[in-house]
Amino acid sequence: MKLRKIVCITLIPLILAGCNPPPPGGGVGGVSKQDIGTVAGGVGGALLGSTIGGGTGRLIATGAGALIGGMAGNSVGKSLDKADSNNNQ
């Protein structure tokens, strides 16, 4: 059951990130580093959050971890994309 949750938490954001058009500057495989950072941060935050608490508290911690991790990953990825575009000019 736990493996099923991990697979779902990992695959859903990856599938959604694939819906975006490729960034103009490239990125990794046509996906921007901002998108990759958002997905990686969200998955990592969800996994860390799921280790905290029990019952309903675990569910809340998982959601909060995914949200905070996704925001942090988005910020890091955005700064990497910006640095790449500055290097290409």
Query: For residue range 57-74, what is the model confidence (pLDDT) as tens digits?
Result: 888 888 888 899 989 999
Looking at residue 75, its pLDDT comes to 92
Give the CB-side neighbour count of residue 89, counting CA atoms within 13 A: 6
The structure's pTM equals 0.67
74/27 Cα distance (integer angstroms) = 14
Residue type for position 56: T
User: Other C-beta atoms within 10 Å of 30: how many?
Assistant: 12
Looking at residue 21, its pLDDT comes to 60
Q: Where are the beta strands (DSSP E) in the chain?
A: none
Give the CB-side neighbour count of residue 44, counting CA atoms within 13 A: 13
Q: Does 26 have pLDDT greater than 60?
A: no
